Amino acid sequence: MTEGAKAGVPVWDLFLRLFHWLLVLCLGVSWGTAELGVEYREYHFYSGYCALGLIIFRLLWGLFGTPYARFLNFLRGPGHLFAYLQARFSRATPPEIYPGHNPVGGWAAIALLAMVAAQAITGLFADDDILYTGPYNEAVSDQLAGELTQWHHQLFDGLLVLVVVHLIAIVVYRFGFNERLTAAMLHGRKGLAAFGAFAPLGKTPWLRGLLAIALAAASVWLLLELAPEPVYDEYYY
Ligand code: HEM
Ligand code: HEM
């Protein structure tokens, strides 16, 4: 076995890994600033915009990114999903090898991304009934804004549940199936012994990655530029 093979095969590119760990950081900051109260609301908004930017980047990367990051590469139909689950837990036949996300992991990734997107989008309309409103609060009726604020609270509970399931799954893969998924999300490589031979990733596509980041940042900027002018209650003066 060559040195390269021992070190593992590159699967997760630098941009995807950065995306993942920045998302974790961003959600931690969003949670912390939400809990700390109204004095930290401005920072809550900033971290929320970052989460939104990260999600837009991931959408672009799912379409134009490296092979294992692309949605079409890891989103499989119910047939694949059940065959994978059956093989995974029966131990009679080994499950098919998926270098990137397996069929369950792929849908879990989509669920997490959708949940974070919904959390950030509802935040844009939210109202804390004290001082701050999201930038699109004025674009909808008070009633709808109230409902979206409720959703913003409730979705977060759902997101927390999903993250806990995510972490439990990672522990099950580590101790049940001896797959070190977290290490792979850190250095980008997966062991060949466990995964067989498959096509490596190739060089980091710097230009494509930086373009996707620029496009995501520009989209958030435009979204904020297009937001309606805030209307302040006289009460605050
Ligand atoms: C994905 C990122 C986000 C997360 C995880 C998040 C999480 C939360 C949580 C947990 C609360 C409830 C705090 C409490 O218990 O009082 C909250 C409140 C709030 N968030 Fe976010 N949020 C995010 C993004 C945003 C964005 C982008 C905005 C607007 C720009 C926003 C605006 C607000 C406002 C105005 C409140 C106060 C609502 C109230 O007092 O009822 N959030 N957020
Ligand atoms: C706020 C908390 C977290 C969120 C929202 C989150 C979200 C995600 C998402 C969306 C993916 C899919 C990656 C992609 O294709 O875009 C993913 C994958 C992954 N996450 Fe997390 N994550 C969180 C915390 C963590 C933590 C704390 C760890 C490690 C201890 C972790 C380890 C992983 C691993 C190993 C994968 C790859 C799974 C696979 O190989 O299929 N995540 N996560």
Spell out the per-residue pLDDT of the chain, length 237, in tens.
Answer: 444 445 678 999 999 999 999 999 999 999 999 999 999 999 999 999 999 999 999 999 999 999 999 999 999 999 999 999 999 888 778 788 888 999 999 999 999 999 999 999 999 999 998 889 999 999 999 999 999 999 999 999 999 999 999 999 999 999 998 889 999 999 999 875 555 566 678 899 999 999 999 999 999 999 999 999 776 655 554
Here the tokens at position 125 are 């309309």
CB 185 within 8 A of CB 12: yes
What pTM was estimated for this model as a whole? 0.93
> To test ligand 2's pocket by mutation, which of 112, 173, 174, 195 has the most ligand atoms within 8 angstroms of CB?
112
First to last CA, the chain: 73
CB 9 within 8 A of CB 198: yes
**Those residues with Cβ within 8 angstroms of residue 185's Cβ, 6 or more apart along the chain or in another chain:** 12, 17, 20, 21
Instruction: Confirm or reject: Cβ of 147 under 6 Å from ligand 1.
Output: no
Cα 70 to middle of ligand 2, angstroms: 16
Domain coordinates of the chain in residue numbers? 3-196+208-229
**Those residues with Cβ within 8 angstroms of residue 11's Cβ, 6 or more apart along the chain or in another chain:** 68, 99, 100, 184, 188, 189, 190, 201
Chain mean position to CA 54? 7
CB 27 within 8 A of CB 51: yes
Instruction: Confirm or reject: Cβ of 31 under 6 Å from ligand 1.
Output: yes
CB 63 within 8 A of CB 77: no
Q: What is the CATH number of domain 3-196+208-229?
A: 1.20.950.20
Amino acid letter for position 192: L
Here the tokens at position 215 are 């496009």
